[in-house]
């Protein structure tokens, strides 16, 4: 019999859940798992392919249906501001995120802003889009949240404000947001 502990798993790719059996979910529950933090990133097939999710929108929605039968708290993470993502893509994801939140009883959606870090697939695409990498190690150290966008982002000011507003609306932790 598994030990009883209270666990929360963070940053699990949704394609992992696609492979879980009902027995796996039962074992997780019996082991004390209370919540699961799932990286959806987007429900746009073109962007999913670009971020190497190896899933389609339909597969994600099917997996979410499977998860609905489970008794966990689910946090779904969606990204905005990915290279190649349009305002229409972002708006579509927002509508889908609201649908997910309403449909899945034990879930909530966080909308996060993509942050380009070196040695990631999208880093060079961000540079091509106009991202200006921080010039020093110390500057990289302060590179977090949405504050980096004011100085280094390729987005115009209006888009940066829009992304930050979205992040604020979907973020239960955001209280002291400095607008760009």
Each residue's pLDDT tens digit, 49-93: 888 878 899 988 888 888 878 878 888 888 888 888 888 998 998
| pLDDT bucket at 180, cuts 50 / 70 / 90 | very low
pTM of the model: 0.76
CA distance 128 to 91: 23
Contact 58, 145 (CB under 8 A): no
Return the beta strands (E) in 45-162 as ranges: 73-80, 107-113
5-19, 130-144, 148-162: least confidently modelled range: 5-19
50 in Cβ contact with 82 (< 8 Å): yes
Name the nearest CA neighbour of 28 among 5, 61, 62. 5
Q: What local confidence, expressed as pLDDT, does residue 8 receive?
A: 64
pLDDT digit string (tens) for 92-144?
988 888 888 788 777 878 888 888 888 888 899 899 988 989 888 888 887 76
């Amino acid at each position: 019999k598994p030990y009883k502990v209270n666990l929360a798993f963070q940053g699990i790719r949704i394609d992992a859940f696609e492979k879980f059996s009902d027995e796996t979910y039962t074992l997780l529950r019996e082991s004390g798992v209370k919540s699961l933090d799932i990286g959806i990133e987007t429900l746009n097939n073109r962007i999913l392919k670009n971020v190497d999710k190896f899933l389609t929108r339909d597969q994600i929605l099917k997996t979410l249906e499977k998860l609905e039968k489970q008794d966990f708290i689910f946090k779904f993470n969606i990204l905005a501001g990915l290279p190649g993502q349009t305002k229409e893509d972002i708006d579509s994801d927002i509508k889908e995120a609201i649908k997910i939140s309403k449909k899945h009883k034990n879930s909530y959606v966080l909308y996060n802003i993509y942050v380009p870090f070196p040695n990631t697939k999208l880093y060079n695409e961000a540079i091509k889009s106009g991202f200006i990498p921080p010039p020093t190690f110390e500057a990289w150290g302060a590179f977090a949240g949405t504050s980096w966008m004011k100085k280094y982002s390729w987005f115009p000011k209006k888009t940066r404000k829009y992304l930050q507003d979205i992040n604020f609306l979907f973020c239960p932790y955001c209280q002291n947001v400095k607008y760009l």
